[in-house]
Amino acid sequence: MNTDKLLMPFAQAYKALSMPRPTAYKRAHAGKFPVPVHQINGRMMVRSADWAAFVQALDNDAFRVGGA
């Protein structure tokens, strides 16, 4: 399965980060949200592959800080 086209609503992404909605939208429009945000049919979406890479990087950092 090609995961490049799997999308997640932007609302799920910022809620998963426990980020307030106004802050999330400001960061997304400024290009400073942790993952790229795309406009598709008028809706803000995040590619699942981008989200997975971001979460993996967080996991790697957590192990690096705690283990080394």
What gap in Å lies between CA 12 and CA 18, rounded to an integer?
A: 10
Domain ranges of the chain: 3-67
The per-residue pLDDT for 45 is 96
User: Distance (Å, rounded) from C-alpha 63 to C-alpha 57?
Assistant: 10
pTM of the model: 0.75
The DSSP line for 9-40 is EHHHHHHHTT--HHHHHHHHHHT-SSS-EEEE
Asked if the model's pLDDT at residue 62 lies above 60, the reply is: yes
What pLDDT is stored for residue 58 in this prediction?
Answer: 86
- The model's pLDDT over 17-48, given as tens digits with 9 standing for 90+, comes to 999 999 999 999 999 999 999 999 999 999 99
Which pLDDT value is given to residue 61? 73
- Domain at 3-67: CATH architecture: Orthogonal Bundle (1.10)
